[in-house]
C-alpha cells in the first residue's frame, strides 16, 4: 500500500486540539441548592486548583479521533498495487450500439461496459491521460485526455447507448488519431464484439468455423486491448418491415430473425392506424429467419406497427413502424410535350404527372414539383411569374427572376462533374453528347453540378426556401434519353427536388441517419414532432434533420400564420440484423500492426472513497452516542 499525497498525513496534528478540549475543565456557573449530597462529583472537580483535568476514558473522544484519522488517510489518497490490463495513456472505445442494451447481464450490457471502463480508469496511474470515445452511429469523444478521473467517471455515468449500429470504421479512425497524440498509448475496445459482423450469416473463413464472426482490425500504430461484454444469445427481433401497394391494395412484409441456438415461437401483432389488424404465432428456426406477407390491408392504410409480444434480451428490435404516403407526389409538366421525360416520370412509384400547354394559365391547385420544358410561364403583361414550390427548368429560353440566360453555346463536352452530389448518384455522364445548351449564368444560390467548356449543363440549389434545378440543354438535342443513366437521373432529380415527400412507400431510416426535410416556402418555421411527442422548431430553410436517435414515428409540420399543416411523416427503426444477433463475438487481433497484450501490468487502485464512506458511518455513530447521552 502507498499514498499518492503523503503530505496530507500532516493533518493528523488536528488530533491535539481535540484532546486538549477534553482535558480542559468546565467553568460552571454558581447556583444555590438545598443539598450537596447528590453533587459529590461536581464538588471534586471544583476543589481542583488547576484548569486541567485528567483525561478520562470517553467514547466520544475515541470516535472523533477515528473520524479524523479516516479523513486524513482519505486526503492522502491511499492505493494498492493491483493487476491492470494496460499501463500508460489509454484511449477507450466504448460500444454504444443497440445490442449493448441487451439485458443478458443485469441491468444491461452497457451498464457492465460502463463499470468495466470505470474499473480500468481506477487502476491507471494518476497521471495517465485517458480519452473516452462513445461508438454509436456517429462516434464522438465523450471526455478528452485532459480530464481528471472524477470527470471521466461523471461523463461515463451520464452516457447512454444508442438505437442503431456502431460505425467502427469511423471510431477506429478517431481513436487512432487520439492515440497518435499520446505517447505510450493503448486503444481499449469495450464491446460485445461482432465488429463488422453480418448478422446471422455464418463466416466462410475456416478460422471461424464455430459460427463466431470476427472482425480483422485495420493497421493501427497503437496496441489494442479488447474487453468483451455479454454472455447470452436469447433474442429474436424484427429485421425487415416493408409496406407496398399491391394489385389488390397495400401489402405488408415482415421478417423475424432468431439469434438463439434453439428454435423460437413468437407472437406477432400488426396494428394498422392504431387498431389491431392481425396477430399470429411465427416459428423461427435456430439462428435463422422467418417471413410473413399480409395482404388485404385497408385501402386507406397510413401507418403500420409490427410488434413481438413477450420478452427477450433486447427490446429495441421488438417493434417497428412503416409509413404509407397519404397522397401521391403531384408533378406539373409545362411544355409542348416531352415523351422521354413523361415516360421516365411514369416509371416512378407514387407520382402523378399532369401536362399543361405553354400558352395556358397554370392550374390553381398546388403541385409538389413544376417542370418547365423549353418554356417559361407568362402573364398578360408578358412578365415571368414563377409559381410557388420546387422548380425544374429544362433549356430555359429566357431569363427569370432566379437566373439569367445570355444566349447559347456549343462547347458542350462535360469537363467537370460533382460526383458526390445526390443528383449524380449512380450516374455517369462522361459520354454525354449535346448539340448546344443555353448559356445560363450561375446564380449565387446555385451549385454547378455538371460543367462544360462553354458553361454549366446542370445547376441546382435552394433559394427562397425552395429547391430549384436547371438543365441547360434540350433533351431532344442530346443522346441523354438514349442512355441508361437517364431514368436514374430523373429519379435523382425528383427525389432531390421533393425531399421527404418522395420517399418510397415503406422506406424507413435508421437511428442517427439524417432526414431530408421538404421545403416549405410559406411556412414561418418547421416543427419536428418526435415519437415522445416533443416538438423541435427549425427554420423553414433547413434542409436536413439529424436528431433521429429515437425509434418511432416522426411528423414534419409547417407552422404558418394561423394553422399548422402536416408536410410528411417518417419512421426510424432498428431493423439491423447484426444488432439483433447479440451473440458475443471475439475480435481477431491478427492485423499487421495490431497486437494483443499478454503481459501482466501493475496498476494502482485507489480506495480513499471507502475511507470517506466509513468516516461518514462513524460520524453517524458519534452523533447517536452524543444524542443518547444528552437524553440521559
Task: Measure CA 124 to chain center.
Answer: 30
Tell whether the torsion through CA atoms of 63, 65, 70 and 71 is positive or negative. positive
Show the DSSP H helices in 540-607 as ranges. 577-580
Q: Which three cell numbers stand for residue 235?
A: 433474442
Residue 513 DSSP label? -
| Spatial strand order in the sheet of 264-272 | 275-284, 264-272, 303-308, 319-323
Angle subtended at Cα 345 by Cα 342 and Cα 351, rounded to the nearest 5 degrees: 125
- Number of C-beta neighbours around residue 3 at 10 A: 16
pLDDT at residue 40 in the model: 64
Q: Which long-range contacts (CB under 8 A, 24 or more apart) does 385-389 make?
A: 387/362, 388/466, 388/521, 388/522, 389/466, 389/519, 389/521
Give domain 242-324's CATH number out of 2.60.40.10, 2.30.30.140, 2.40.50.140, 3.30.1490.20. 2.60.40.10
pLDDT of residue 83: 59
Nearest to 184 by CA among 114, 103, 129: 129
Sorted by where each begins, the domain ranges of the chain are: 2-78+609-631, 86-233+581-596, 242-324, 329-497, 512-572
pTM over 0.75: no
pLDDT value for 526: 86
Same fold, 86-233+581-596 and 242-324: no
Give 10-residue mean pLDDT values along the chain (632 residues): 72 78 65 67 55 68 83 77 69 94 94 92 81 92 80 90 89 88 88 70 38 52 87 92 83 94 95 94 94 90 92 94 75 89 81 83 79 80 68 92 92 87 83 91 93 93 88 93 89 82 59 77 75 90 86 86 77 92 77 44 65 86 78 58
Q: Quote the pLDDT of residue 327.
A: 56
Closest CA to 594 of 216, 213, 212, 180: 216
- Tracing cell 432526414 back to the chain, one arrives at 515
- Which residues does 164 contact at the CB level (< 8 Å), separation at least 6? 97, 98, 136, 137, 510, 511, 512, 513, 549, 574, 576, 579
CATH architecture of the region 329-497: 3-Layer(aba) Sandwich (3.40)
- As a whole number of angstroms, the distance between CA 573 and CA 550 comes to 9
- 3-state SS, residue 496: helix
How far is residue 316's CA from residue 339's CA, in Å, rounded to a whole number?
48
Of 608, 605, 617, the closest CA to residue 76 belongs to 608
**E-assigned strand segments in 442-497:** 446-452, 456-463, 466-471
pLDDT value for 442 = 93
Give the Cα separation of 287 and 290 in Å (integer): 10
- Name the helix (H) or strand (E) containing 509: strand 509-510
Distance CA 278, CA 262 (A): 26
| Closest alpha carbon to 473 in 494, 446, 452 | 452
What pLDDT, on the 0 to 100 scale, is given for residue 431?
83
Superfamily of structural domain 86-233+581-596 = von Willebrand factor, type A domain (3.40.50.410)
Q: What are phi and psi of 319, to 5 degrees?
A: -145, 145
- pLDDT in the model for residue 365: 66
Amino acid at each position: 500500500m502507498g499514498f499518492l499525497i503523503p503530505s496530507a498525513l500532516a493533518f493528523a496534528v488536528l488530533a491535539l486540539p481535540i484532546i486538549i478540549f477534553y482535558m480542559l475543565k468546565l467553568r460552571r456557573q454558581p447556583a444555590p441548592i438545598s443539598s450537596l449530597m447528590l453533587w459529590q462529583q461536581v464538588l471534586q472537580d471544583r476543589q481542583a486548583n488547576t484548569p486541567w483535568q485528567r483525561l478520562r476514558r470517553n467514547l466520544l473522544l475515541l470516535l472523533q479521533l477515528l473520524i479524523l484519522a479516516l479523513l486524513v488517510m482519505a486526503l492522502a489518497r491511499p492505493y494498492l498495487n493491483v493487476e491492470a490490463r494496460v499501463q500508460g495513456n489509454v484511449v477507450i472505445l466504448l460500444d454504444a450500439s443497440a445490442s449493448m442494451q441487451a439485458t443478458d447481464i443485469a441491468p444491461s450490457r452497457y451498464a457492465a461496459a460502463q463499470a468495466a471502463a470505470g474499473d480500468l480508469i481506477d487502476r491507471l496511474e494518476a497521471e495517465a491521460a485517458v480519452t473516452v470515445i462513445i461508438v454509436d452511429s456517429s462516434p464522438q469523444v465523450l471526455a478528452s485526455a485532459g480530464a481528471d478521473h472524477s470527470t471521466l467517471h461523471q461523463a461515463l455515468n451520464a452516457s447512454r447507448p444508442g438505437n442503431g449500429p456502431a460505425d467502427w470504421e469511423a471510431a477506429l479512425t478517431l481513436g487512432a488519431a487520439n492515440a497518435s497524440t499520446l505517447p505510450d498509448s493503448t486503444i481499449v475496445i469495450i464491446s460485445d464484439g461482432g465488429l463488422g459482423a453480418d448478422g446471422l450469416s455464418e463466416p466462410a473463413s475456416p478460422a471461424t468455423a464455430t459460427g463466431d464472426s470476427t472482425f480483422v482490425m485495420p493497421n493501427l500504430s497503437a496496441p489494442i486491448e479488447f474487453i468483451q461484454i455479454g454472455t447470452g444469445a436469447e433474442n429474436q427481433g424484427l429485421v425487415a418491415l416493408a409496406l407496398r401497394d399491391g394489385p389488390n391494395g397495400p401489402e405488408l412484409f415482415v421478417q423475424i430473425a432468431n439469434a438463439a441456438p434453439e428454435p423460437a415461437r413468437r407472437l406477432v401483432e400488426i396494428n394498422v392506424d392504431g387498431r389491431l389488424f392481425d396477430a399470429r404465432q411465427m416459428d423461427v428456426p435456430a439462428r435463422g429467419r422467418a417471413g410473413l406477407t399480409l395482404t388485404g390491408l385497408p385501402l386507406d392504410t397510413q401507418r403500420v406497427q409490427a410488434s413481438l409480444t413477450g420478452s427477450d434480451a433486447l427490446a429495441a428490435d421488438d417493434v417497428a413502424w412503416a409509413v404509407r404516403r397519404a397522397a401521391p407526389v403531384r408533378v406539373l409538366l409545362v411544355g409542348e410535350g416531352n415523351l422521354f421525360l413523361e415516360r421516365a416520370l411514369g416509371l416512378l412509384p407514387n407520382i402523378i404527372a399532369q401536362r399543361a400547354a405553354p400558352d395556358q394559365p397554370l392550374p390553381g391547385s398546388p403541385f409538389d414539383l413544376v417542370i418547365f420544358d423549353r418554356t417559361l410561364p407568362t402573364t398578360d403583361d408578358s412578365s415571368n411569374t414563377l409559381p410557388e414550390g420546387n422548380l425544374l427548368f429544362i433549356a430555359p429560353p429566357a431569363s427569370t427572376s432566379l437566373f439569367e440566360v445570355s444566349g447559347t453555346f456549343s462547347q458542350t463536352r462535360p469537363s467537370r462533374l460533382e460526383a458526390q452530389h445526390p443528383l449524380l448518384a449512380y450516374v455517369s455522364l462522361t459520354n454525354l453528347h449535346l448539340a448546344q445548351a443555353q448559356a445560363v449564368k450561375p446564380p449565387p444560390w446555385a451549385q454547378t453540378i455538371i460543367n462544360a467548356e462553354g458553361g454549366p449543363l446542370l445547376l441546382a440549389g435552394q433559394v427562397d426556401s425552395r429547391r430549384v434545378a436547371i438543365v441547360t440543354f434540350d433533351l431532344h438535342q442530346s443522346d441523354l434519353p438514349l442512355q441508361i443513366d437517364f431514368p436514374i437521373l430523373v429519379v435523382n432529380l425528383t427525389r432531390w427536388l421533393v425531399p421527404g415527400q418522395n420517399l418510397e412507400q415503406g422506406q424507413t431510416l435508421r437511428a442517427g441517419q439524417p432526414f431530408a426535410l421538404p421545403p416549405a416556402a410559406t411556412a414561418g418555421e418547421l416543427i419536428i414532432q418526435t415519437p415522445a411527442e416533443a416538438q423541435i422548431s427549425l427554420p423553414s430553410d433547413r434542409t436536413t434533420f439529424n436528431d433521429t436517435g429515437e425509434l418511432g414515428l416522426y411528423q414534419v409540420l409547417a407552422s404558418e400564420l394561423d394553422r399548422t399543416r402536416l408536410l410528411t411523416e417518417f419512421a426510424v427503426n432498428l431493423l439491423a440484423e447484426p444488432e439483433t444477433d447479440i451473440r458475443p463475438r471475439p475480435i481477431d487481433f491478427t492485423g499487421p500492426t495490431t497486437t494483443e497484450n499478454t503481459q501482466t501490468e501493475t496498476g494502482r487502485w485507489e480506495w480513499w472513497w471507502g475511507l470517506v464512506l466509513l468516516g461518514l458511518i462513524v460520524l453517524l455513530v458519534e452523533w447517536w452516542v452524543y444524542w443518547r447521552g444528552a437524553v440521559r
